[in-house]
Structure 1
C-alpha cells in the first residue's frame, strides 16, 4: 500500500505529459497526400508526406500523429524510406520558417523527428525520389524546378543531371523507380507511356505507349506494383520490370491515385493516397480496402 500514492502521482504525470504531446502532434486535418512509405523495421507503420508535415499511421490505421515538432511541419515532396530505414525527402519549408526554399534533399535518421538539410539545400525541389533498394548510395530525383532528373552514386555527395535522351522533353513525369538488383536500370511513368533506361537515365526507350503508371513501388521477389492509367486502369503488377503488366485487386474509389506503397515486410499490405486527400489500406493485395483518411479527415483519431 505504501506505493499507491507515488504510483498514482507518476501515472497522473504521465497522462499529463501524454496529453501535451498529443495536443502538439494530434492530427485533425490532412492536406495533399504526396507520398506514402512503410517503415523497414517490422512495425507496420505507414508514413505519409503531406503539405503540412510528415504523418505516422499505425498498422491498423487507428492512430496517427505528426512527426517532429511544429518547426518541422514542412511541405514534404518525394518522401521515401530507404532499405536501411533512413527517411529521405524534399519539398518546401513551412510558411513561418526561415529556411531556404526549396529544401533540397533532407535526411532523417530518427523516423522523421528531425531532419538534416546538407544536400542540394536551396537548389532542388525533388517531387520524385528513388533510392535504390540494394544500393542505397544510388539516388534518382526529379527536380520540378528544372524539369530534370538528377542522380547520385555516393549517397548525395555529388550529383549529375541525366540526359534522358529518347524521352519527350515536354512530357510530364509521374513516377520513377530503379531496378532493385541493378541500379543502372530505371523505369519512368510519363504522360506518353512507360520508358526504360539501362544506363542510369542517359538514354531511354519507350516500352509501352498504351499504358503509364502514376505511382509505383517494389513488390515481392522483384515484382513491381503500380497504379496504371490507359490500357489498364487501376492497380497492376509486373514480373519483368515493366515490360508487361497484369491487373490486380480492385480500387476502392474512382478518384485518381497519386501515391502508392507496399509494405516490404508484408507485400500483401498496400496503401494508396488519392487526389481528394484520402488514404486507403488493404491487407489482401488490393482485394478489399479500409479508408483511414477520408477526404483529409482521419477516420479513427
Structure 2
C-alpha cells in the first residue's frame, strides 16, 4: 500500500504486533456474521420487550449494526442496534427514536429524501413483520417502519445508498439466495448482480457508493477492498488485506475512508484509492471497526463504530479521537 505520509517507528512496531491478533479478530467477525444470518430465527428476540421505547435513554448498546449522519439532520448521529434505532443529539444525549425495538441490520440513511431511512434485520417481539424483515423503510426519521420488499427472504448485514441518488440501494445477503442485491427504485424491486470476486472472497462486510457515481460501489471484505464501476457486475482489487468498514466522503468523491484490520487501522485515500494514509486510529484489543460515517458538512469529523460496541469520533481529521461509547456504554 502506498502512503502519502509516514508514521513513527514505535507506532509501526506496535501495529505489527497487533497483526496476528487482528487476523484472529477478523476470523471471529466473519463467524459471528455467518452465525447471525443462519440463526436469526432463534436469537432475534433475546433481551427485547414488545411495546414503544421511543424517548428512552440508551443505557447500553447491544451491537452497532449501522451508523449514519444524514445531510438533512447533520447535528445528529444515528446508531442502529440490536434493540432499536438510537440517536445522539447535538447535546450528546443518547435516546432511542424507533417506537419498536427492531434489530436493525444494514441500516442506511437516504441522503436525498428528508426523514427517510432504510434497513434490514429482524422484527421486534409482538409485531407481525416477517423474520427476517427483508427491506423496510421509515419516512418519519426512524420512528416507525414498514416493509417494502423481500420479506422473509434476505437479511442485509451490509447495505448502502448512493449519495447522489437515494433510490439506488445495494445490499449484501449472505444466506439463502446469497449475493449483491441492487435496487434503482428505493428498494421496491431488486436485481442480483454477478458476484465474481466478491463472492470468491466470502462476500461484503461493508459497502459504500462513490458520492458522484451511483454505479460505483466498493466492498470491504475479509481478503481485500474491492471496487466495482458497473453496479456490482465486475470487481477489481483496490487495497490488499482485510477491510472491515468503508465509507465515501459525501462532499468529496475522491475521498474514501476504510478500516484495514490487518494492522494499519483507519486509513484514507484522497485520490480515489490510488494512495493511502493513516488516520491515527487502531482499535485496541481484539476488535475492529464495523462502520464508518463521514460528516456531510464537515469532512474533518468522522465516526467509527466497532464490533466490540464502541464508538469513536474525531473532529480534526484523525489527529485526536474521543470515545462516545466504550464496550457498549455511552460516555457522558
Q: How far does the alpha carbon of each residue in 1:30-68 deviate from its partner, in whole angstroms, 9 at most, with x for none? A: 1111111113225410010101100100235x3010012
Q: What secondary structure, in the 3-state scheme, does the structure 1 residue paired with 2:284 have?
A: coil
Asked if 1:217 is matched to 2:247, the reply is: yes
The answer for the alignment partner of 2:294 in structure 1 is 262
- TM-score after normalising by structure 2: 0.76
Equivalent runs, 1:15-54 vs 2, <5 Å: 25-54=56-85
1:7-27 residue CA offsets vs partner (Å, 9 max, x unmatched): xxxxxxxxxxxxxx9995122
How many pairs does the alignment contain? 275
CA contact (8 A) 2:161 2:167 kept: yes
- Look up the SS of the partner of 1:182 in the other structure: coil
Per-residue deviation, 1:239? 2.2
Give distance in 1, aligned partners of 2:292 and 2:210.
17
Q: How does 1:189-268 map to 2 (within 5 A)?
A: 189-208=220-239, 210-219=240-249, 220-222=251-253, 223-230=255-262, 233-251=264-282, 253-254=284-285, 255-268=287-300
Please state if 1:82 is matched with 2:110: yes
Match of residue 87 from structure 2: 56
- Take 1:39 and 1:67, find their aligned partners in 2: how far apart are those partners? 15
Task: Please list the CA deviations of residues 87-142 of structure 1 after superposition, one character each: whole Å capped at 9, or x if unmatched.
Answer: 11110012443321011111112110111212222221111111111122211111
Structure of higher CA gyration radius = 1
1:179 and 1:241 in contact (8 A); partners too: no
Distance in structure 2 (CA, Å) of the matches to 1:151 and 1:198 = 13
5+ unaligned residues in a row in structure 1: which ranges?
1-20
Instruction: Kindly indicate whether residue 318 of structure 2 is the aligned counterpart of residue 290 of structure 1.
Output: no
Contact 1:252–1:288 (CA under 8 A) maintained in structure 2: no
Contact 1:187-1:242 at 8 Å conserved across structures: no
**3-state SS of paired residue (2:318):** coil
CA distance in 1 between counterparts of 2:103 and 2:252 reads 33
Number of the residue aligned with 2:97: 67
Report the equivalent of 1:13: none
1:115 aligned to which of 133, 145, 148: 145
2:204 to 173, 187, 200: 173
Match of 1:15 in 2: none
User: More strand per residue: 1 or 2?
Assistant: 1
SS across alignment from 1:293 = strand
What is the Cα-based RMSD across aligned positions, in Å? 2.2
Asked if structure 2 preserves the Cα contact closer than 8 Å seen for 1:52 and 1:74, the reply is yes
TM-score when normalising by structure 1? 0.84
Distance 1:204 1:297, change over 3 A: same
Shift of 1:213: 2.2
Cα distance in 1 for residues equivalent to 2:226 and 2:188: 27
Is 1:128–1:141's contact at 8 Å kept on the other side of the alignment?
yes
2:3 corresponds to: none
Are the counterparts in 2 of residues 251 and 286 from structure 1 also a CA contact under 8 Å?
Answer: no
What is the match of residue 6 of structure 1? none
Question: Which residue in the other structure is 2:192 paired with?
Answer: 161
Once the two structures are superposed, residues 240-287 of structure 1 have per-residue CA deviations (whole angstroms, 9 ceiling, x without a partner) of 333432212334634311111111111211111122212122211222
Instruction: Look up the SS of the partner of 1:136 in the other structure.
Output: strand
